[in-house]
Structure 1
Amino acid sequence: MVWYRLHWDQDNTDRPTALLVNYVSLASAMYVNGSLVYRDPQLVEPLSRSWTKPRYFLLDKPLLRQGRNTLLVRVSGLAAYQPGFGTVEVGDPAVVHPRFLDGVRWRYDLQMLDQMVTLVFGGLFGIIWLLRRKDSSYGWYALSTLLSFVYGLNYTAESIWPLPSTDAWEAVNAAAYLAAGSSFAVFLLRYVDRRWPRVEWGLLAINLVSFAAVIVAPTPSGIHRGWWFAVGGLIYYAATFGFAWHAVHKRRTDHLVLSACLMIPLLVSIHDFLLYYGVIRSDRYLLAVTSPLTVVGMGFALAYRFAVAMRRVEGFNLELKQEVDAATRQLGDTLTREHSLAIENLRIGERLNLVRDLHDGFGGSLVGAITSLERAPPSPVGEHTIAVLRELRDDLRLIVDTTTYEQATDLASFMATFRHRWDQRLELANIDSQWQLDGLDGLYLGPARSLDLMRFLQEALTNVLKHSRARHATTAIVCDRGRLRIAVSDDGVGFDEGRKTTGAGLASLRARATRLNGAFQRTTAPGQGVSLSLDMPA
């Protein structure tokens, strides 16, 4: 406790005189000419905190005396917390009162405004985080602002309730500042989608130590609070400069704006640190003046993220519409294809029923007729009839084979029974047959094209069997690079290429080649056999 006595001479007492005491820390009682004009509620521990506002008095008779007047001030404070007594001004109320209002505005009103803005933004971002837990940056910013609010009470509170002593108040105030700086650093990390586990665990450890010190040893923690303020300030500066470096390199609009809005408060905070540590002298802390910049930066960041999210939603809606349209078209194509397949399956079913009827009825009759004629006495007419019936039987087998197979049957499976049947017929005619089948596994032509191809081969081999008088016949079917090449050749008598033929076999071969979209070629000469070839798409 310290007493200050000041004197001034008053020439005229007819008009009121203004008295302004701009600064007293921590609590005070003031007497003018022995009369009490102001007293804080607590002049002993727990001390009141009247340092946040200047004190203004309008003095008049009889309190104000002609000649010498005395101001007696009792200042109660603790040596560790910068107790002191500022300047005193006595004069015309029209001059002194505006200075009082200016002091209140700078030292109290701006701090209170900063507190309210901090509390509102902390609540707003806290609600956003509660509604959207996965975006943890909002939660960290809310925690940072709420801790800053606790620290900011140092500039607005006039009582330390519910804490028991000034030491405890100062210790809690320093721990809140350190925690606010740490949570703000984590907020900036989350805002740029970064996680630094070691740094974050280190910050947690430092804060646990500071709060443990508040609980276990509040007096030493309060007295040496400057160390906690220094650590918190270094964390705040490192986080802000790191974020600014990231913003400059990444060039994201919201990062750049927020970084610019954070740099100005950072520079102003240097003034407040110098004032706190006694490097410079003043009665005004200025950081609260820059709080609107932080509000602008965070408001822009929030609005920017909202706009980006809305653009994503709009883009997603457009993409969803496109995908729905594509799925609708695909579903329509699928239904059309299924309808076509159903019709095709119906046709195949009818065709299979017809083929089975032919096989069971007409086929059985053919086999019975051939068997009866083979058992009858030999005759030229009978042998010719048997040959015709056998051709009909072979043709029926071709139709049955290519029709009753499944759609997914490859050409190799069709050729297996065809080759076996013709090997037997050529062997009975004393013709040695050779086959070259390459690349037919997995080649699907479908029943219609397979039947045309089988008929082409059957017609070509029938010519070898009937007309060539050959001893050897070679059949090659090769699939290569999307082309199917068929060649049937023999070493028979051949014929003159320029000679006109009257049979229907050659015309039938050309017609089937055209249906298969292929190129047909015949090569022959007397005594050199015949070679028939077909080149078609696979």
Structure 2
Amino acid sequence: MLERKKSINLNTFYYAFSFFLFLLFLLNPQLSKATVPTTTQNCQTNIHSVQIVQSDANNPSQIKAQTWENVDRLPDYWDKRWKGYHSSAWYKVLWTQKCPFNIQEPVTLTISHINMAGEIYLNDEFLWKDQSLVEPLSRSWHNPRYWILPSSSLKQGQNTLWIRVVGTPTQKSGLGPVHLGEHTQIMDIYKQAVLEKRSLPSLNLFVNLIVGLFCLIVWLFIRSEYAFKWFGFVTILWLIYSYLVLRSDPLLSLTSTTIDRFSVITFSIYASVGCIAAWRFAKSTFPKAEKILLFFCIFSTIIILFVPIQYLPTTLNLVFLIGVIIFILKCLTYPYIAYKSKLKEAYFLSLQYLFFFPIAINDAIYMLTLKGQILSPYTAPISTITVGLVLAYRLSNNAKSIAQFNKTLEQSVIQAKDELSVSLNNQHQLALENVKLQERIHFSHDLHDGLGGSISRSLILLEKYDHIEKDQMLSILKLLRNDLRQTIDFGSSQESQIPATPILWAAHIRHRFVMIFEEMEISSKWDIIPQWQSTPSTLQCLTLARVAEEALNNIVKHSQATEVKVSLYEAQQKLILEIEDNGIGFIPHEVEAGLHVGLHSMQQRVSRLNGQFEINSKSGQTILKVSLPFTA
């Protein structure tokens, strides 16, 4: 039942999560908004030339007269133009604005990205700069910006835009596309750039966060779902990598090269762990391949952390490229793995990986060259659809499993009830047989101790006299009849009346044996307490009576005693019977080994009432002591 509750709770979470992701992409305005550029109605803005020069100057006036190099198009990266140069450079953008009637209008400027940080001057006047132009650098390579250039700062005719770019050794340093023009038109370009470089990646980051948390929650609920644990770790790694790429402000005083080291390490681990997660999802393991991936992660991490700075760019690109190859191989081989696993959930995941294959190649080229357009932010809906299909399939399977479980449980309950009924009937029959057997045993003990004792005493009397009178014979027969009636009517039943006093309890025993003792010249002493201090039960009275009769009968038959003492008293919340004689005695354990019926019967009677049965015997003295607790 516990597993069933867990499954029901997870199903509810599946429904809520799937509905949330559906609304997220259905209602997100960034994804549904179309950008339609507009054209200016009044002024015409044209960029005539873009030039670049190496310089560490802090402003345009400090730039020494050098030879400027023409830039054919933007974006521009100087890694091929100046190999090994990673300091800073100035871009000079010459542009004109022609307005009718010589009326100057504000111009809007947007720059797609600056790699890695920069500052801007307009006609030698400061316009803007990044938060930090020295290490730790700001990171503007995925951060589009726009400015409204006031008409008071513009010149009629040619204007100059000075853009300083501070580069890093580990990234392609340079300047992204620059657009100048009427505000509405430029804002459309800016919004499109923000959508591609900030909004969609941020949304992708958020969706992956939700999916990762979901996977970890599923794993916490069902620890056997190891694939969800691995996917949770993969998502966390992707979140860290994306965060390092998208962050624009300095991070914990880390230099740009340090951040790039950690980002590539994270990507290499992400690619390797992603393979393991996908394999686990298909219920497959590849020990050799997993060891190779583990070695790659450890080796690449050590190399990236300790490689000298002059070899760092090549090392980062190589490790990143290997990570991409690992991801691509996973995408290409997973359909076969899914086919071998025969799991429909794995089929959904394999379709997603086939879709990701060309996107991974495109984005790898973009990250290495910073040319083109990154496509991975657009994959969030695909990931969400895949997750939805997997969840829907698992919901269906869980519902079927629950239905089958209920059916099996119902059948098992019916079968268990039938088996229990049969078992109870068998136990009832055994109990009845046991009760009958116990009654027979008790009845046989009563016959032995009661009627058997009477017969033994009668035989002793008959052996004593050669001629028995009719009255004596009738008396013997009546005594036998009375003992038989007592055995049949009362036996060991608790419905018999308790004697009012101990003396009345001992009266019939005393009457039977005194006559025999006198005939056999045995003196007897009866030390009986006059009143009950604590009232015994009927069964206790009957048990003591049977024990007394059997013990006295044994004295008559075997002891050759001349003196007998019978005592009944109470001590320590116990009713105690003691019978002592001065006969020849016997060895108790030898008698017990000989299966003496009378002795065994006495012990059984006392044991049933949680009492104590003791015999101490030697030549000239035998003491039998029975103690019955009143709490019994």
TM-score by length of 1: 0.60
Structure 1 residues 3-12 or 237-246, which shifts more? 237-246
- Pick one of 150, 165, 169 that aligns with 2:240: 150
The Cα offsets for residues 148-176 of structure 1, whole Å up to 9 and x where unpaired, read as 11111244100341253211111111110
Q: Which residue of 2 aligns with 1:308?
A: 397
The amino acid of 1:5's aligned partner reads: K
Q: Do the aligned residues in 1 keep the contact of 2:283 with 2:341 (CA within 8 Å)? A: no
In structure 2, the residue corresponding to 1:233 is in which secondary structure? helix
Specify which of 364, 371, 374 is matched with residue 285 of structure 1: 374
Give, in angstroms, the shift of residue 62 of structure 1.
Answer: 0.9
Partner of 1:298: 387
1:335 matched to 2:431? The reply is: no
CA shift in 2, pair 1:348/1:298, >3 Å:
same
Give the counterpart of 1:262 among 333, 350, 353: 353
- Quote the Cα distance in structure 1 between the aligned partners of 2:308 and 2:239: 20
Partner of 1:3: helix, strand, or coil? strand
- 5+ unaligned residues in a row in structure 2: which ranges? 1-87, 443-632
User: 2:92 matched to 1:5?
Assistant: yes
Output the CA distance in 1 between the equivalents of 2:207 and 2:432. 74
Provide the residue aligned with 2:256 in structure 1: 166
- List per-residue Cα deviations over 1:354-399 (Å, max 9, x = no partner): xxxxxxxxxxxxxxxxxxxxxxxxxxxxxxxxxxxxxxxxxxxxxx
Alpha-carbon offset, residue 349 of structure 1: 10
Q: Which residue of 1 aligns with 2:415?
A: 326
Match 1:271 to one of 344, 356, 362: 362
Match of 1:199 among 282, 289, 295: 289
C-alpha displacement of 1:79: 4.6
1:241 aligns with 2:332: yes
1:296 Cα deviation from its structure 2 partner: 2.0
Q: Could you tell me how far 1:331 is from its partner in structure 2?
A: 1.4
Moved more, 26-35 or 295-304: 295-304
Q: CA deviation at 1:243?
A: 2.0
Q: How does 1:356-367 map to 2 (within 5 A)?
A: none
Q: Does 1:126 align with 2:188?
A: no
Give the structure 1 partner of residue 557 of structure 2: none
Secondary structure at the aligned position of 2:152 is classed as coil
Residue of structure 2 aligned with 1:213, choices 282, 287, 303: 303
Which digits, 9 at most, give the CA deviation of each residue in 1:42-72, with x for residues without a partner? 2122221111122212122211222221100
What is the SS of the residue equivalent to 2:134?
coil
SS for the counterpart of 1:52 is coil
State the number of aligned residues.
353
User: By how many angstroms is 1:109 displaced?
Assistant: 0.9
**Contact preservation (8 Å) 2:94, 2:159:** yes
Measure, in 2, the Cα distance between the counterparts of 1:330 and 1:293: 54
The answer to whether the Cα contact below 8 Å between 1:9 and 1:69 also exists between their aligned partners in 2 is yes
1:251 CA drift (Å): 4.8
Query: Which is bigger in relative contact order (C-alpha 8 A, separation at least 6)?
Result: 2
Aligned in 2, Cα 1:80/1:351: closer, same or farther, shift over 3 Å?
A: closer
Task: Assess, with a 3 A threshold, how the Cα gap between structure 1 residues 101 and 352 changes in structure 2: closer, same or farther.
Answer: closer
**Preserved contact between residue 167 and residue 218 of structure 1 (Cα < 8 Å):** no
Q: CA deviation digits over 1:250-303, x for unaligned, max 9?
A: 55332222221222122211111223333x932x31111112211221233244
1:180 Cα shift?
0.7
- Within 2, Cα distance between the matches of 1:218 and 1:139? 36
Q: Report SS of the residue matched to 1:81.
A: coil
- Out of 2, 5, 14, the residue aligned to residue 104 of structure 2 is 14
Please give the alpha-carbon distance, in whole angstroms, between the structure 2 residues aligned to 1:286 and 1:300: 22
Whichever residue aligns with residue 127 of structure 2, its letter is: V
Mapped partners of 2:440, 2:366: distance in 1: 102
Shift of the alpha carbon at 1:81? 1.0
Residues in 2 aligned to 1:204 and 1:51: alpha-carbon distance in whole angstroms: 32
Which residue of 2 is the match for residue 187 of structure 1? 277
> 2:182 maps to what in 1?
92
Which residue of the partner structure matches residue 77 of structure 1? 167
1:328-477 aligned at under 5 Å gives the runs 328-340=417-429
Moved more, 57-66 or 341-350: 341-350
Cα distance, 1:348 vs structure 2:
9.8
Report which stretch shifted further, 99-108 or 304-313.
304-313
Give the structure 1 partner of residue 266 of structure 2.
176
Shift of 1:9: 1.7
3-state SS, counterpart of residue 38 of structure 1: strand
Q: Quick check: 2:282–2:341 contact (8 Å CA) kept in 1?
A: no
Q: For 2:242 and 2:308, how far apart are their aligned partners in 1? A: 19
Could you say what secondary structure the match of 1:51 adopts? coil
Following TM superposition, by how much is the alpha carbon of 1:82 offset from its aligned partner in structure 2, in angstroms? 0.7
Aligned to 2:45: none
> In structure 1, what is the equivalent of residue 322 of structure 2?
231
- Residue 105 of structure 1 deviates from its aligned partner by 0.5
Contact 1:48 1:160 in 2 (8 A): yes
Q: Which moved more, 1:170-179 or 1:224-233?
A: 224-233
Output the amino acid matched with 1:231: I
Q: Is the contact between residue 170 and residue 222 of structure 1 (CA under 8 Å) also seen in structure 2?
A: no
CA RMSD of aligned residues (A): 2.8
Does the C-alpha gap of structure 1 residues 65 and 47 become closer, same or farther in structure 2, counting only changes over 3 Å? same
Q: Is structure 2 residue 191 aligned with structure 1 residue 101?
A: yes
Distance 2:119 2:383 in 1: 38
Q: Structure 1: which 5+ runs fail to align?
A: 354-538
Q: Contact (CA 8 Å) 2:245, 2:263: kept in 1 or not? A: no
Is the partner of 1:49 in helix, strand or coil? coil
Which whole-Å CA distance do the structure 2 matches of 1:291 and 1:267 have between them? 15
- Cα distance, 1:218–1:291 mapped onto 2, change above 3 Å: farther
Change over 3 Å in CA distance of 1:222–1:173 after alignment to 2: farther
Deviation at 1:339, TM superposition (A): 4.0
Asked if 1 retains the 8 angstrom alpha-carbon contact of 2:168 and 2:257, the reply is no
Give the AA of the match of 1:14. Answer: Q
- How far is the alpha carbon of 1:240 from its aligned partner? 2.5
Query: Contact conserved, 2:332 with 2:353, CA < 8 A, in 1?
Result: no
Q: Give the residue type in structure 1 aligned to 2:413.
A: V
The aligned residue for residue 16 of structure 2 is: none
1:29 aligns to what?
119
Conserved 8 A contact 1:213-1:221:
no
Q: Which residue identity lines up with residue 315 of structure 1 in the other structure? A: Q
Give the Cα–Cα distance (whole angstroms) in 1 for the partners of residues 436 and 243 of structure 2: 89
Q: Given that residues 261 and 305 in structure 2 are in contact (C-alpha distance below 8 angstroms), is that contact kept between their aligned partners in structure 1? A: no
* Counterpart-to-counterpart distance in 2, 1:185 and 1:94: 46
1:268 corresponds to which letter in structure 2?
A: I
Deviations 1:219-245 (A, max 9, x none): 444552111112211222222322211
Q: Which amino acid aligns with 2:191?
A: L
Q: 2:507 — aligned with what?
A: none
